[in-house]
Chain A
């Protein structure tokens, strides 16, 4: 037995390397597991000696347990190196970075570092990059592996327990509840005043106890992290988020995550396939693209820097597992390889395959929770791809703000507009038409999976009409074809499925592309207004794309 354990908890020093000689399973495993949960730790290292600073002099002392949350102490490597340490291997970190269980979330603890210091350290990873290569595919892979390596080596993982507030399981409370129900039955039988008073006093005590219990649990969870705090608040307010999905498949209920994810991926691909059969223009032949290339097509470093800043850091990471806030903080060191990469993509018109793979997460819409059709496929794409799309959109914005093309009826994805302005315009139009004794018919059509049905060639035709540079059109065409995706349910992943064409829900570029597709209609309508005047009740056809 080990007595008087001394624990080291805190930031590990990355400058020193620690060597280990053997791996053993800890005999008092449960004891350590509870400790690990309390301190949000991933690993426990047991060693014999170490040096410690005591009043400016180095002293060697006996140390029993080193508790770290350094992720890169892989067990395989430790076998090979020889030293005087023993690792207590607790099989807890299995598939660590993907672990989003029901009650636990694991993530890179990026908060320890300020962006500046990290930039200097990461520079060494980008030094080896050969940025003069001419293939975007290879360059993208290099950048991704460089960032991933840096993350795995330098940034510790941290896991946080999420609250489970719904069950108030205190024996005293359960006791009181039983007493209350017994008293209630008695009171119903006798209807005496004394029994009623007793019942009231019991329920009063019970309420106080429940409130205390709630407070205790709430304080425990809310101190852990901001995410846990808001989850428990939302739970109490009634916005319950249940990550546990169980589905109806025929007459069976399935609750295994692996099966569910397979079922989802089948359903989502079939749904799009049936819609594709219905829709008419599938084989549109696109003519030659115009030669309107210029140097302005390419990105400058400042543009990409602003695009990186625009990425939302709270959004989920894609399949390459680079969190967007990391990319944001690393902007100083990453900016040179990224500009080279993005410009290569623009030049060749080939989008790397890694950007086209999306991790699809089913998000519950409304209605019955056990039906597949009540879930919406939301794709998490890689954050580098997001940065590229943001940069491209800021370039396309010039064409979007064109008033002649869009008129005042386009309210989405433009500056200085919002849902409220759209509602005001509708209300104003309706009211002023009614004043003139006219009827107004308004219909709202829901387009089923509009993003999935974006036909690349049709969209390219529109973009050619809008005189958008052909290099960008090539990029967008490539972006919309040969995509693939896999469904992820609670960390369990389905097989990769090909998506022949279309955009995905959750991409940055998608909404803008859809609004580009609808532009010509508004344009045409304005033209008809000028030439024809319909003498009937309605003089204008207006359509709002909301």
Chain B
């Protein structure tokens, strides 16, 4: 493929430039990936050593896959969280509630919410279910004696530990806020709102705009998000999640791998 060769040449020139600056590439840790390509393995020459492309690559703690799905990353998060839930149970008898909650916030929620807007939008229904059930399990652990009596919602209200959906909204809001402050990326901001599509994900929860106003207090943020909310017909909010998503795909250019 001609385009593939071009890519290889460009990568080569970049490596030469790095060497010119006196930098040495650590070949063991160097990987590359070709997005949207699923065929024979491709070799690239990194200063005498050939490296073939890998299916997924870890960048800044996020697993990128060649087909732009996020299953490997989600699996890793689930694995970490489930091992944490065991140690939380050990800690349960040692700590008081406040300390226990501190540890949930510092260890579990930080694991879950890292880069959540990136991978959280495109995960499958099954993965979503697994994540939320794990989160509920941890919250129920926190409640101890009451956990049998109360319903899920009551527990969330009592403990004021956020559920998965509200963690998502918070992470998305924080990210959007950053992008709006960063003036270079106005195009990406709009695309981000459309793609990860806040409104598409939570048809029943449009009231989060008010919440974000309290949290962030940026008028520009609200104006922009409201514009997108206005594009959604009001009747759609009563639809089920899947049909809502389908309809959203029709009006917004959502990327389909």
Contacts and interface: CB of A to CB of B under 8 A. Distances in A.
Given A442-B33, A443-B44, A424 B175 contact: yes
Interface string A507-546: 0000000000110010000000000001011100101001
B182 interface: yes
Given A438-B3, A439-B37, A449-B24, 9 more contacts: A233-B91, A237-B88, A280-B19, A420-B115, A434-B35, A439-B7, A441-B32, A446-B25, A543-B14
Interface stretch (B53-61, B217-225, B229-237): B53-61
Given A211-B93, A237-B87, A439-B3, A448 B26 contact: yes
Interface in A437-467: 438-450, 453-455, 458
A85 B129 CA distance: 73
B176 to A, nearest CB: 10
Interface string A398-439: 000001000110000000111111111111101111110011
Nearest to A418: B178
Interface stretch (B154-162, B183-191, B207-215, B244-252): B183-191
28 contacts: A215-B94, A233-B95, A236-B90, A280-B19, A281-B20, A418-B178, A419-B60, A419-B115, A420-B114, A420-B117, A423-B118, A424-B179, A424-B192, A426-B64, A432-B191, A432-B255, A434-B36, A434-B255, A441-B7, A442-B57, A442-B64, A444-B59, A445-B46, A447-B26, A450-B23, A454-B22, A455-B22, A521-B17
Contact of A446 (B29, B93, B178): B29
Contacts of A441: 4, 7-8, 10-11, 32-35
A438 B7 CA distance: 11
A447 B20 contact: no
A440 B94 contact: no
A424 B36 CA distance: 18
A279 interface: yes
Contacts of A53: none
Report the contact-size class of chain B (Cβ under 8 Å from the partner).
35 or more
A425 B30 contact: no
Contacts of B238: none
A503 to B, nearest CB: 12
A179 interface: no
Given A408-B184, A423-B59, A441-B11, A447 B24 contact: yes
A354 B27 CA distance: 36
A420 B118 contact: yes
A214 interface: yes
A238 interface: yes
Contacts of B91: 233, 236-237
Contact of B7 (A279, A407, A537): A537
Nearest to B6: A536
Contacts of A281: 20-22
Contacts, number: 185
A453 B24 contact: yes
Report the contact-size class of chain A (Cβ under 8 Å from the partner).
35 or more
B170 to A, nearest CB: 13
A473 B176 CA distance: 37
B33 to A, nearest CB: 5
Given A426-B59, A440-B34, A546-B60, A541 B115 contact: no
Given A278-B24, A419-B115, A431 B103 contact: no
B40 interface: no
Contacts of B17: 521
Given A238-B87, A422-B60, A447-B24, A417 B33 contact: no
Nearest to A462: B21
Given A215-B93, A428-B188, A445-B30, A237 B68 contact: no
Contacts of B21: 281, 458, 517-518
B248 to A, nearest CB: 16
A421 B178 contact: yes
B152 to A, nearest CB: 25
B34 A428 contact: no
Nearest to A239: B107
A426 B185 CA distance: 12
A237 B36 CA distance: 39
A110 interface: no
A455 B60 CA distance: 27
Nearest to B15: A445
A432 B21 CA distance: 32
Contacts of B103: 233, 237
A541 B255 contact: no
A62 interface: no
Interface in B130-184: 175, 178-179, 181-182, 184
Contacts of B36: 434, 438-440
Contacts of A211: 93
Nearest to A453: B22
Contacts of B37: 439
A125 interface: no
A425 B188 contact: yes
A442 B6 CA distance: 13
Contacts of B175: 420-421, 424
Given A218-B94, A237-B87, A431 B23 contact: no
B25 A416 contact: no
A442 B31 CA distance: 9
Contacts of B77: none
B191 A428 contact: yes
Contact of B6 (A425, A450, A537): A537
B84 interface: yes
A247 B64 CA distance: 36
Interface in B87-103: 87-88, 90-91, 93-95, 103
Contacts of B33: 441-443
A518 B23 CA distance: 11
B23 A453 contact: yes
Given A215-B93, A416-B182, A427-B118, A275 B24 contact: yes
Contacts of A417: 178, 182
Contacts of B188: 424-425, 428
Contacts of B31: 443-444
Nearest to B256: A435
B83 interface: yes
A478 B46 CA distance: 34
Nearest to B188: A428
A432 B253 CA distance: 10
Given A236-B91, A537-B7, A424 B117 contact: yes
B18 interface: yes
Contacts of B18: 445, 447
Contacts of A214: 93-94
